[in-house]
Amino acid sequence: MINKNKRKLLIVEDEFINREILKNILLDDYEICEAEDGESALEILKSNKNNFSLILLDLFLPKLSGLELLNIIEGDGKLNNIPVIVLTSDKELEVQCLSYGASDFISKPYPDSRIIKARINRVIELFEDRQTIKSTERDALTRLYTRSYFYKYVADADKNNPNQEMDAIAIGIRSFHVIKERFGAQFSDSLLVRFSKRLKAVMPNISGMVCRLEVDTFIVYAKHIENYEEFHQEISADIFVDIDNKTPITVQMGIYQNVDKNIDIDVRFERAERALDKIRNNVIKNISIFDDKLKEKEMYEEELIEEFSTAIKEHQFVVFYQPKFNIKGDKPFLASAEALVRWKHPTKGLISPGIFIPLFEEKGLIQRLDLYVWNEAALQMKKWQEKYHKHVPVSVNVSRIDLYDPNLVKTLLDIVKQNNLETKDLYLEITESACTENVDIIIDKVNALREAGFMIEIDDFGTGYSSLSMINKIPLDALKIDMIFIRNAFRSQNDNQLIKIIIDIASYLKVPTIAEGVENKEQVEVLKELGCDLVQGYYFSKPVPEDEFARFLTQE
């Protein structure tokens, strides 16, 4: 009989014999669940949320690797409450797993069973202690409810008043990060405290309760009302963003009205947040309702996520190539190409990466897609070399999340080797915004990639708020000027000051510049004059399928 008080463990390990060893050691003390690969582990976790006290995770798994799974767990607000112990025979990986969110590791071959038991016990104990400390009812700064308690009270409210129509509201302070930059953390904290007091004071007016979700985002659960204008005025009156009390704050709200009580509480507030996100950059709108359009978008995104695995299996993702031309000399010539992915969806048509890449980054799927694209691009490069006897380097996009993968260098080296290529043929585009957090980790990783022989291009340069001193530390081989600068420079006044500055930075770093989004001859001429080395954009070609790209390889 299963002991009701036994804690539940999940063992994720593809080798039968290893699973059996662990099971034998642990069966007396724990209730054991098993998974043979990453995907089925994820399914078990999703259907059993919060039931496991610990996950024992092997790193080398079929379907979804251990690291990918760890990544997904860490990114999931419900799953990251479960501690993970990594099982590995690779000393190198052990430490990296810890920085990835694992709590501990057990090395293979397995140590004495007493050691295994002790480690597992210790991790579970530590985690449970930490949960108790974390689960305080009120936020330390504002004294508003914290999320877990708030959700509990929401559930209670529903239970007590099942027929009452309710609204879920997300509230944010416009440009909070700018206020913080300008007046400092102390001032912005006091602003949050004042704002929280106001929120709490007006709650009785709408029969609501309030919680601080994160930094400057608050959520409210209240009796349904049709019109939020008055409430909006009430919460923002008499609170100022500056020290001299001159400029009042602007508050923005997203509202999911008449919530469907059959859906999870966190999904209700996610909907309110979606509505809020929609107007975050809008300077005029302050109130936004979760409507059918947003609901359709939510459904569409859910479908994309569900269909992802099949799409990879069925090769629905196709890689297009866009040429980069060198414009230094008299006649522009083909220098390299960028691989850009598209989704040829069987029923939805051609979907652009602008739609699915941010979604996949958020949902932990981007690594699998990038790996697929890198493989495709390498294979293509080899084919072109064989058919046209031309060496055209191809650059691939490397997502911020890929950079935290301890196996990244090896993965890329394997791809190069399998296709009989050289590392210097594969360029890696890393977006500048990836370089603004965890700088030391990123610098180490980029150094390792360069040491392995890959060329590094910093993408979207100028948009990522990285300081010059930091860019100076990041080893790189080219700067890509974001197309927004080209757009702005060639608007009415023809002001190319910012492009000049970026080209200056590049020459100071002794690397070439690549201008993106170049659409006409005039732009090419001016960029050439300013000393820009390479140009990519519709003027030369849109991204095209590989067969169309062949025309650039046969051109002289």
Interacting residues with ligand C2E (CB under 6 A): 322, 340-341, 352-354, 357, 366, 370, 373, 397, 399, 429, 459-460, 516-519, 536-538, 543
User: Of the two residues 188 and 397, which places its CB atom closer to Ca ion in the complex?
Assistant: 397
User: Of the two residues 466 and 536, which places its CB atom closer to ligand C2E in the complex?
Assistant: 536
User: Of the two residues 119 and 400, which places its CB atom closer to ligand C2E in the complex?
Assistant: 400
* Residue 459 engages Ca ion in binding (rule: CB under 5 A): yes
**For strand 534-536 and strand 513-515, is the pairing parallel, antiparallel, or unpaired?**
parallel
User: Of the two residues 23 and 400, which places its CB atom closer to ligand C2E in the complex?
Assistant: 400
Report yes or no: 304 and 504 within 8 Å, Cβ to Cβ: no
Interface size with Ca ion, residues (CB under 5 A): 4
CB of residue 402 vs ligand C2E: minimum separation in angstroms? 7
CB of residue 545 vs ligand C2E: minimum separation in angstroms? 13
Q: What angle, rounded to 10 degrees, do the helices at 66-75 and 38-47 form?
A: 20
Q: 10 Å Cβ neighbour count for 392?
A: 20
User: Of the two residues 211 and 396, which places its CB atom closer to Ca ion in the complex?
Assistant: 396
Q: Residue 354: name its binding partner from ligand C2E, Ca ion, none (Cβ under 5 to 8 Å by kind).
A: ligand C2E
Q: Residue 370: name its binding partner from ligand C2E, Ca ion, none (Cβ under 5 to 8 Å by kind).
A: ligand C2E
CB of residue 27 vs ligand C2E: minimum separation in angstroms? 43
CB of residue 484 vs ligand C2E: minimum separation in angstroms? 10
Report yes or no: 58 and 67 within 8 Å, Cβ to Cβ: no
User: Of the two residues 429 and 546, which places its CB atom closer to Ca ion in the complex?
Assistant: 429
User: Of the two residues 53 and 399, which places its CB atom closer to ligand C2E in the complex?
Assistant: 399
Q: 10 Å Cβ neighbour count for 151?
A: 19
Query: In which region does residue 99 sit, left (phi positive, over 0), alpha (psi from -120 to 50) or beta (all else)?
Result: alpha
Beta bridge partners of 272: none
Q: Residue 537: name its binding partner from Ca ion, ligand C2E, none (Cβ under 5 to 8 Å by kind).
A: ligand C2E
**DSSP H helical segments within 265-338, as ranges?**
265-279, 292-313
Q: Residue 393: name its binding partner from ligand C2E, Ca ion, none (Cβ under 5 to 8 Å by kind).
A: none
User: Of the two residues 407 and 431, which places its CB atom closer to Ca ion in the complex?
Assistant: 431
**DSSP H helical segments within 251-291, as ranges?**
265-279
Q: Which residue has the tokens 């950079």?
A: 403
User: Of the two residues 190 and 352, which places its CB atom closer to ligand C2E in the complex?
Assistant: 352
CB of residue 373 vs ligand C2E: minimum separation in angstroms? 4
CB of residue 480 vs Ca ion: minimum separation in angstroms? 6
CA dihedral 196, 201, 203, 206 (to 10 degrees): -130
User: Nearest Cα to 210, choosing from 223, 202, 197, 219?
Assistant: 219
User: Of the two residues 257 and 399, which places its CB atom closer to ligand C2E in the complex?
Assistant: 399
Distance CA 320, CA 151 (A): 46
Q: 10 Å Cβ neighbour count for 463?
A: 15
**For strand 333-345 and strand 349-351, is the pairing parallel, antiparallel, or unpaired?**
antiparallel
CB of residue 399 vs Ca ion: minimum separation in angstroms? 10
Binding piece for Ca ion, criterion CB under 5 A, among 137-145, 347-355, 383-391, 451-459? 451-459
CB of residue 531 vs ligand C2E: minimum separation in angstroms? 20
Q: Residue 465: name its binding partner from ligand C2E, Ca ion, none (Cβ under 5 to 8 Å by kind).
A: none
Of 34, 58, 68, 429, the one binding Ca ion (CB under 5 A) is 429
CB of residue 464 vs ligand C2E: minimum separation in angstroms? 12
Of 34, 139, 460, 533, the one binding Ca ion (CB under 5 A) is 460
CB of residue 482 vs Ca ion: minimum separation in angstroms? 6
* Residue 397 engages Ca ion in binding (rule: CB under 5 A): yes
**For strand 217-223 and strand 208-214, is the pairing parallel, antiparallel, or unpaired?**
antiparallel
CB of residue 355 vs ligand C2E: minimum separation in angstroms? 9
CB of residue 322 vs ligand C2E: minimum separation in angstroms? 6
User: Of the two residues 216 and 460, which places its CB atom closer to Ca ion in the complex?
Assistant: 460
Distance CA 416, CA 425 (A): 9
Q: Is 169 helix (H, G, I), strand (E, B) or coil?
A: strand
Q: Residue 349: name its binding partner from ligand C2E, Ca ion, none (Cβ under 5 to 8 Å by kind).
A: none
Distance CA 514, CA 90 (A): 40
Q: Is 546 helix (H, G, I), strand (E, B) or coil?
A: helix
User: Of the two residues 406 and 462, which places its CB atom closer to Ca ion in the complex?
Assistant: 462
User: Of the two residues 84 and 365, which places its CB atom closer to ligand C2E in the complex?
Assistant: 365
E strand segments, 42-142:
54-58, 84-88, 104-107
CA angle 80, 84, 90 (to 5 degrees): 135
Binding piece for Ca ion, criterion CB under 5 A, among 179-187, 300-308, 316-324, 392-400? 392-400
* Residue 402 engages Ca ion in binding (rule: CB under 5 A): no
Q: Residue 418: name its binding partner from ligand C2E, Ca ion, none (Cβ under 5 to 8 Å by kind).
A: none
Rg (CA), the chain: 27
CA angle 432, 274, 433 (to 5 degrees): 5
User: Nearest Cα to 178, choosing from 254, 277, 280, 269?
Assistant: 280
**Chain Cα centroid distance, residue 33:** 30
- State the binding string over 186-225 for Ca ion (x if CB under 5 A, else -): ----------------------------------------
* Residue 361 engages Ca ion in binding (rule: CB under 5 A): no
At residue 461, what is the residue type?
F
CB of residue 302 vs ligand C2E: minimum separation in angstroms? 21
Residues contacting 435, CB < 8 A, separation 6+:
442, 458, 464, 466, 470, 471, 474
Query: Nearest residue by C-beta to Ca ion?
Result: 429
Please give the structure tokens belonging to residue 76.
């999931």
Beta bridge partners of 251: 173
Please report, as ranges, the residues that interact with Ca ion according to CB under 5 A: 397, 429, 459-460
